[in-house]
Chains A and B, each alone.
Chain A
Amino acid sequence: MTDEPQGLTDEEVAEQEGEELPDREAMSLVNLNAAAPINAAAALNVLSDNSAAGASATQTTPITQTT
């Protein structure tokens, strides 16, 4: 006679760690193999007197970046 398989006790279940999956809709939006938008700005005054340099860059993507 073999032992009946035993289920997990309530205590054992409570010890398990888990995380809820995101909604299906959220997962379905991730359809990119690579998303790496680049946004950069730089302003320089080199060997210059009384001069003004200014630079900005704004990028709105599903990943928004501002510099």
Chain B
Amino acid sequence: MGVRRTAASVVAMGTLAVWAAPAMAAGSTTNGTNTVDAITTTGSPTSQLFALQVTSQRGQDNAQNTAWAYAHDCTGCRSVAVAFQVDFEVGPMSQSTPQNLGLAENYQCTGCVSYAYAYQDVVPVAHPITLNAPEQAQLNDIASRAQQLASSGQTPAQMDPVFKQLAAELQTDVANDVRLLNSNQAGTSWKGAQLPGFLLSGFNFASADLSNANLEQAQLRGTNLSGANLSGAHLSGANLSGANLSGANLTGANLSGANLSGANERGATFG
């Protein structure tokens, strides 16, 4: 395969305890296993790979997420491997041993760059989760930006904080998706939440804090928003037909193109 394991790398892998031997292919994603291998050498000097996997584990969680960046016998090679994994642990678990590993190595290289980042979000849930289209679109957007960053030519020091920001964004989005499994959100806080295009028809957001939330194109038909704080919210293109907006604070909200037919706006504050 043209990939030599040095004594140092073997030692390093030993410290990773259960590092599964990475496949020599560019990467693989199967149920519960997300592996990204970016391997470069003379003649194949650039590999910049990203993969995001959403997996559900039941009973025992042995999910693996690995990023391996390896440049060898090369001058000026660049290997970037980034692996994101969302690991839903569904129902009671008898064992939870998810693994998240990142390894970057330059071997016999001059002027090479190798960077690996692995992010694993383990989320216990009571019931199986299927992300709907708007939720999936959020993850796709994060994946797109991550792939662009991996291919940006930036140094590891430059990329690392940005990848961690993307990971934090992914965590927030997934946490919101899980929270919205419950349609009763009365009195909860969604301040500044990113919910574009989300399917929230019939939800109860009475007295909830949705200030500065992004609800563009969201489906809010018949949603109870009475007394909710929607100040500064982005509601352009949202469908609010039949929604209850009585007593809601819509100061500074962007309602351009929103459908308010049949909405109860009694006592609502606009401005």
Give the interface of A toward B (CB within 8 A). Answer: 31-62
Contacts and interface: CB of A to CB of B under 8 A. Distances in A.
A55 B117 contact: yes
Given A35-B96, A38-B100, A62-B124, A51 B113 contact: yes
A46 B107 contact: yes
Nearest to B118: A57
Given A41-B103, A51-B110, A56-B163, A34 B122 contact: no
B115 interface: yes
Contacts of B105: 43-46, 53
A37 B155 contact: no
Interface in B95-123: 95-122
Nearest to A44: B105
Binding site secondary structure of chain B = strand
Contacts of A40: 15-17, 19, 100-102
Contacts, number: 171
Binding site secondary structure of chain A = strand
A41 B167 contact: no
A59 B66 CA distance: 12
B94 A33 contact: yes
Nearest to A45: B106
Given A33-B94, A48-B106, A54 B157 contact: yes
Interface of B: 6, 8-9, 12, 15-19, 67, 69, 71, 92-122, 124, 155-157, 159-160, 163-164, 167, 171
B68 to A, nearest CB: 9
A51 B17 CA distance: 26
28 contacts: A32-B93, A32-B94, A37-B98, A37-B122, A40-B17, A40-B19, A43-B103, A44-B9, A44-B103, A45-B105, A46-B108, A50-B111, A51-B71, A52-B106, A52-B114, A52-B115, A53-B114, A53-B156, A54-B114, A54-B156, A55-B67, A55-B102, A55-B115, A56-B160, A56-B163, A58-B119, A59-B120, A59-B121
Given A43-B114, A53-B106, A58-B120, 16 more contacts: A35-B95, A37-B100, A38-B101, A41-B101, A42-B103, A44-B9, A46-B8, A46-B106, A48-B109, A48-B110, A51-B112, A55-B67, A56-B117, A57-B117, A58-B164, A60-B121
Contact of A59 (B12, B100, B112, B164): B100
